[in-house]
Amino acid sequence: MATSRLAHWGSSLTSNLLLEMRPPLAPGRVLVAVYYQDRLASLVQGTLNGGQATVEYVLSRPDSVLPPYTAYSVRGAGRRALTEFIRLCMARGVRTLAAHAVTPPSASLHAGLGFRLLDDL
């Protein structure tokens, strides 16, 4: 099933990114992590390069994105992480922010925060 493969890929990627969070980070790389009750709920990885920034990944726990939702689901964690990344970009004078949405939930999240969608998924 495609959904379980995507969830597994996201979980694996999150684990690798958490390992990368240990200092030192590569120049220009930013990681924003949102925790809820001591559990990682969402993670954004991006890069800053002068007046431009790129959102590389927005990862959320699969149980918070895909139904059926559980008692451990945290709705809004991806939005919170992406919002904080955008605030950081604004504080550092970034004028252009790009992102690639690869799933409908991701496209919806980005569109809701003002990104222009350039093509269909």
16-75 residue pLDDT tens:
656 655 667 788 999 999 988 888 888 999 999 989 999 998 888 777 666 666 666 678
Considering the entire predicted model, what is its pTM?
A: 0.75
Query: What distance in Å separates the CA atoms of residue 83 and residue 100, rounded to the nearest whole number?
Result: 16
Which of the four pLDDT bands, split at 50, 70 and 90, describes residue 81?
Answer: very high
Could you give the angle at the alpha carbon of 104 between the alpha carbons of 50 and 89, nearest 5°? 20
- Where is 54: in which H helix or E strand? strand 52-60
